[in-house]
Amino acid sequence: MTKRRLVLGALFIALAAARLCHVRILWPDGDYHLAAARQIVQGSVIYRDFWFDKPPLGPLLHVLFGARAGAPLMLGSAAYLWLACLAAYFLARRLWSEAEGLLAAGLLSFHLIFYLPSAVIPLPVDAAMLAPHLAAVGAAVAGWPFMAGAASAVAFFFNVKGVFVLAAVLIWLPDRRRRAVAGFVSVCILAAGALAAAGALPGYIDQVWRWGIV
């Protein structure tokens, strides 16, 4: 238990330190979501009041971390991506043992520090979907189909590639696919309801899907 806490705590410190080293750097892919978050903080509604051709959870996560460039956003992103390391730990421990769990968390942390976009952009969408992606696969391995489907849907609302996470879950749980699909659809219905209540659902369909496909 003590060793686990020390290793996982050290991974968070490493993630935070790496991001604080880049606190004064702004990259286009990061600015795009940050600009959307600033619009939301100022009272605009995504898809309804301004154009945004990506799923909504990226900007909303930036809002959660203050919607402002600087140390709070970098530390928030480190904390969020640390959750992905914890999910990797849980998944590998379920499949193998404690040692493999800690190794998986450590290797993911290393990647998130030294792979350039993940190191300098607070929350690129591919990195942001890692936490729900790994959570979905971990839930599938643990035999929790509804949670696996729901986590796949969360990944989907970070990045449309999340649909492939659901596909992996369905392959892993061939005898419980209905429950997994039910979890996925439940989250999608809730998200669609929230977008519709905000008057943003038509814009979401047009901007993310129709124009995105074009």
Is the pLDDT higher at 26 or at 195?
Answer: 195
Q: CA-CA distances (angstroms) from residue 92 to 6, 85, 136? A: 18, 11, 13
Q: What is the pLDDT of residue 214?
A: 86
Summarize pLDDT for 47-67 with one digit per residue, the tens. 999 999 999 999 999 999 999
**Interatomic CA distance for residues 92 and 210, integer angstroms:** 38
Q: Is the pLDDT of residue 1 over 70?
A: no
The whole-number pLDDT of residue 78 equals 95
Collapsed DSSP state (helix, strand, coil) of residue 50: strand
Residue 106 has pLDDT above 90, yes or no: yes
Burial class of 193 by CB neighbour count within 10 A (0 to 12, 13 to 18, 19+) = exposed
pLDDT band at 29 (very low <50, low <70, confident <90, very high): confident
pTM assigned to the model: 0.93
Residue 114: how many other CB atoms lie within 10 Å? 10
Mean pLDDT of the chain: 94
pLDDT at residue 118 is higher than 90: no
